Structure 1
Amino acid sequence: MITNRRLNRLAGMSVMLIPLALSACMVGPNYEKPATALAPFHNAVPASATPAATAPLALDSWWTAFHDPMLATVVQRALDQNLDLAAAYARVQQARAVAKGAGAQLLPTIDVGGSATANRASLQTPITSLSSQVPGFRRNYEEYSVGPSASWEIDLFGGLRRGARAASDEESAAEADRVGTRITVVADAADAYLQIRGYQARLAVALDQVANDERLLKLVRDRYAAGSGNGQEIAEAEALLRQARSSIPTLRIGLEVQLNRLDVLMGAQPGTYAQELSTVQSIPGIPAIPSDRQPTDMLRRRPDIIAAERRLAASNERIGAAISDYYPKISLSGALGFDSISASNLFTKGAFAATGGGLIRWRLFDFGKVDAEVKQARGANAEALAVYRQTVLHAAEDVENALVTLSQTQVRVSEVQAQVAALTKARDLAQQSYKAGSIPLTDVINADQQLLVARDVLDSERAGTARSAVAVFRAFGGGWSPPTRQAEADVPTLMAKSGG
């Protein structure tokens, strides 16, 4: 048998469930992940261009594959101290707070307040003019009140939930941007380090050439002293030596620029770590480059693609939030507390007060303001879709450019190595012939200059090859550990919450 108390309880529960049932409705388009179909990359690294991989390369820590402890130290220091990365993390914290605040709007707001006021009533109002004739009337009185109050906007058509989802998507985009900054910082630090090693190698070549030209000048002077040379040969040898020496300042400037750049990347004042890197080391050889990477791997790993997709999802949610303004909004409010004109009677049964109410607000006539807001939201969504697609194309362009640059730089290094070997032999033979007096000094100078240029190009290209490998890792989104790979249909929205 159902008692009156049970009936009242069921009726009360039904009233509470009505807003919850209504709030399940959300207007606006549900988000659909954009279809992204890309053909396989048409550039590839030849199998002979890089060392054979002994184990699968971990893209999240690709710099360790160079087997250069100093490079690993530099990268880790940049990850720990870089200020761009710290700023990106702060932006994530801001986006996270905004998302949390947007989610909190779905819940009731409860306030607790209290007040104490002193009042002096006018005697000229209709009520007080009559009340003043009653015995015991007091013109001066105090009023005390204390208690909680609550308000709640029922998300009847999903506008608040759409806004909360949009904020959550923006949080995911900010996190992807932070990861993108991490990738850039790692790649820039490695690039600066490799340029430093390249400049050091080129300086060593220039200094070696200076020493060789000094020996040649001494040889010319000795021949002149012995009556076998002339003053023109001395002048030519001196000019050759000056030319070799003149290349050194330019190389030192380039080296200093990269040292300063690396210090800033490591969050330090330029000059902080210069001494630590002053010990000359060889340019590290490039590691094995994965040759089986496909566009789906790029879509899964590239943070700029992930961020663009999340912003697309957020713009879709804002369409629903704008459309919800076509419909009424309902708010509930209530308050409990005590209200008394005497502090001694404030917390008594007679001072207890309660109030409750509801409010409906409906923008029926606003001269097209809601229409304009919906059109603006749809336009922003179309823009975000175009930005997402363009981001995917630019990412594919980065990969193709990086792959062809690496493969062709490797070819050039191989050719320049052979050129250096041939020019070294030619220079040595020219010097021997000059000593024997069978050729003029100009032949020796020409051979020497060609060798200097070739050796400088070789070290520059060897550093360029290592930098090209870094560009490949950057293009593929290496430098972080993405979430576990889901089905291929979910590739564009990894790191994301469902927007549907």
Structure 2
Amino acid sequence: MRIRHNRNVLSAARHGMRWTSSLAAAAVLSGCMVGPDYVAQNVQLKPIAKATQAGADNKREADIEQWWKEFDDPMLSEIVRDVLAQNLDLAAALARVEQARAAAAFAGAQLLPTVDANASATAEHQSVVGPEGSLARNFPGYGRDQKEYAVGAAASWEIDVAGGLRRNAGAGRLEYEAAEADKAGTRVTVLADAADAYVQVRGLQARLAVAEDQIRTEQHLLDLVKARKAAGAATEREVAQADALLRQARTLPPALKTALEAQLNRLDVLLGVQPHTYAAKLAIPSPIPAVPGSSFTATPGELLRRRPDILAAERRLAAANERIGAAIADYYPKVSLSGVLGFDSLSADKLFTAQAFQPLITAGLRWRLFDFGKVDAEVAAAKGRNAEAIAQYRLTVLHAVEDVENAFVGLSQSQLRASELEAEVTSLQRARDLSETAYQSGAITLTDVLDADRQLLSARDDLDATRADAARAAVGAYRALGGGWSADDSALATAPGLSAPQTTAR
């Protein structure tokens, strides 16, 4: 009995050695990988013409990753902190990243063997008129009640001979990195939108204060003209003109309040709360954030490395390239190995014995020799998707350059306009002061003084609107540069093979 047991054990060992040898041979065979290897696109870009901040007060380089701190506004920093913690677009982007990570893990797991454990116990009262029972009942000692016990482990492995599984795993990893880039892009957009809404709130509050001053001025003018008419020094036409000016001034606050409420509601939604939640916190007016004095520029290389939409498009292009290889791999045979190591016995007390040991090894081959062009169609479709990804990537780069050019032109021109308006307000303030002096000396009427006030308030309104536009343009420039995220906080920092696409400045 012991000798037989040893022989069975030796036989099982030999089977194990053959299994190991088969796995080693398979590993050697799976070293090749069909399909084109990815080559980063060589993007031909000239230096970006307008990508330098105009009017920077010093040479300090701006912190692009945390650009909101450049505005030196505590409330803006608080809003950014809350947006990062509460924004629902960011929460959805994070969920999409988790989905992509799971899909990549699944594709990678396809390269590894699958091992299943199984056990069963069967009790049967056999028919004596069935195929087996009708024969077995003629043997001595036959009993209709039978039991069977089985326990074991089954393993299966598809050998990646042509590299199709590795191509799919690589594509899954690249699509996960694209999802990470999309999340970074969502962060860039959300932060810029929140800052834009906040700047507009402060700008509208400043303009609303000016509009209220304008109404008071026009009311004073109307009262004065009415008094002069009562004294016989003014006509009904002058009264009507003054009344029209007052009514015109009163039309501005409703429009400003409507726009202000819309921006407050927009900010609440960005903060992931019901509209009118943060209105009280922002109710007290505060100065319009000034354009940061630090400098920032954009070069083609920096743009390609910082813009999340470009990174996402590049990763999807690389994934599309991997899918070509996965499709081409279907031209080649697929080899699989499977095996079972287990015990099978009619008696529970003999289950774990050498006589009950029952190994099984199976090698399989599947080759799509005649499929009426299905593989050809799959390869053609994969190449078509890759061509689309190339075009989409190049279009994304062009749109990014367009964004930067527009943002920096808007920033520089709004700063120039604000500078001219500041000079205009200074001149009008001086004219108003001189009018006050002339009025006190009796050289002009109060109407002239109030008219100077009206011109000054109109210029101040225009200046406040332009200052808000300049601050918004600065936010837009940071957005266009892909500011607001750090690769160190993303899987993109350690993603294998991730590098900025090549660029040639002309």
- Whether TM exceeds 0.5 here: the answer is yes
Say whether residues 1:136 and 2:141 are aligned partners. yes
Distance 1:226 1:429, change over 3 A: farther
1:402 aligns to 2:407 (yes or no): yes
Residue 56 of structure 1: how far off its partner (Å): 2.5
CA contact (8 A) 1:99 1:167 kept: yes
Q: CA deviation at 1:166?
A: 0.2
| Matches of 1:425 and 1:243, distance apart in 2 | 25
Amino acid at match of 2:148: E
Which residue of 146, 160, 165 maps to 1:160?
165
Distance 1:46 1:299 in 2: 19
The aligned counterpart of 2:500 is 491
The residue aligned with 2:43 is 36
Give 2:3's aligned residue. none
Q: 1:148-297 maps to which residues of 2 (within 5 A)? A: 148-288=153-293, 290-297=295-302
Aligned 1:112-123 pairs, distance under 5 A: 112-123=117-128
Secondary structure (helix, strand or coil) at the match of 1:142 reads strand
SS where residue 45 of structure 2 aligns? coil
Shift of 1:424: 4.7
Q: Does 1:333 align with 2:338?
A: yes
Taking a change above 3 Å as real, the CA distance of residues 440 and 216 of structure 1, as seen in their structure-2 partners, is closer
For 1:71, the equivalent position in structure 2 comes to: 76
How many residues matched? 485
Aligned match for 2:58, one of 52, 59, 62: 52
1:26 corresponds to which residue? 33
Cα distance in structure 2, aligned partners of 1:316 and 1:446: 70
Provide closer, same or farther for how the CA distance between residues 124 and 365 of structure 1 changes in structure 2, counting only shifts above 3 A.
farther
Is the contact made by 2:217 and 2:450 (CA closer than 8 Å) also made in structure 1? no
User: Which piece of structure 1 moves more, 215-224 or 324-333?
Assistant: 215-224
**1:8 & 1:113 partners in 2: Cα distance?**
20
| AA of the residue aligned to 1:217 | L
Deviations 1:370-414 (A, max 9, x none): 110000000000100111111111001100010111111111112
Per the normalisation by structure 1, the TM-score is: 0.89
Instruction: Give the secondary structure class of the aligned counterpart of 1:138.
Output: coil
Out of 430-439 and 303-312, give the one that drifted further. 430-439
Provide the rounded CA distance (Å) in 2 between the counterparts of 1:64 and 1:449.
Answer: 37
Counterpart CA distance in 2 for 1:235 and 1:422 is 30
**8 A Cα contact 1:308 1:388, kept in partner:** yes
Matches within 5 A, 1:290-329: 290-329=295-334
Secondary structure, counterpart of 1:287 in structure 2: coil
Deviations 1:215-253 (A, max 9, x none): 222222332343322333333222222221221011011
The 1:232–1:165 alpha-carbon spacing in structure 2 relative to 1, beyond 3 Å, is same
State the AA in 1 paired with 2:304. Answer: L
> Hey, what's the Cα distance between the residues in 2 that align with 1:8 and 1:352?
12
Letter in 1 for 2:157: W
TM-score (norm 2): 0.88
Q: Which stretch of structure 1 is more off in the superposition, 149-158 or 8-17? A: 8-17
SS at 2:141 equivalent = coil
Structure 2 CA distance for partners of 1:145 and 1:27, relative to 1, 3 Å: same
Distance, in Å, in 2 between the alignment partners of 1:136 and 1:328 is 51
Amino acid at match of 2:285: V
For 2:24 and 2:342, how far apart are their aligned partners in 1?
A: 26
- Distance in 1 of aligned mates of 2:19 and 2:129: 47
- 1:185: how far off? 1.0
Shift of 1:270: 1.1
Choose which of 377, 383, 400 in structure 1 pairs with 2:388: 383
Moved more, 412-421 or 358-367: 412-421
The amino acid across from 2:25 in the alignment is I
Measured at CA, do residues 331 and 102 of structure 1 come closer, stay the same or move farther in structure 2, by a change above 3 Å? same
Once residues 290 and 129 of structure 1 are traced to their aligned partners in structure 2, the CA distance between those partners, rounded to angstroms, is 95
Q: Is the Cα contact below 8 Å between 1:45 and 1:404 reproduced in 2?
A: no
Equivalent-residue separation in structure 1 for 2:499 and 2:395 (angstroms) = 19
**CA 76–126 in structure 1, closer or farther in 2 if over 3 Å, else same:** closer
C-alpha change, 1:45 and 1:215, in structure 2 (3 Å) is farther
What CA distance in whole angstroms lies between the structure 2 residues aligned with 1:84 and 1:292?
A: 29
| 133 and 13 in structure 1: CA distance in 2 versus 1, 3 angstrom threshold | closer
Which structure 2 segments of 5+ residues have no match? Answer: 1-13
> Does 2:398 correspond to 1:393?
yes
Quick one: distance in 2 between partners of 1:70 and 1:425? 34
Instruction: Verify the 8 A CA contact 2:185 2:308 in the aligned structure 1.
Output: yes
Q: 8 Å contact 1:423–1:451 — kept in the other structure?
A: yes
SS, match of residue 338 in structure 1: strand
SS in 1 for 2:500: helix
Q: Distance in 2 between matches of 1:329 and 1:8?
A: 23
Contact 2:221 2:450 in 1 (8 A): no
Change (3 A) 1:426 1:302: same
Aligned CA distance change for structure 1 residues 9 and 346 (closer, same or farther; 3 Å): closer
Q: Is the 8 A contact 1:28 1:321 kept in 2?
A: yes
CA distance in 1, matches of 2:140, 2:211: 112
Q: Is the 8 A contact 2:217 2:454 kept in 1?
A: no
Confirm or deny: 8 A CA contact 1:430 1:439 kept in the other structure.
no
- Do the aligned partners of 1:289 and 1:469 also contact (CA within 8 Å) in 2? no
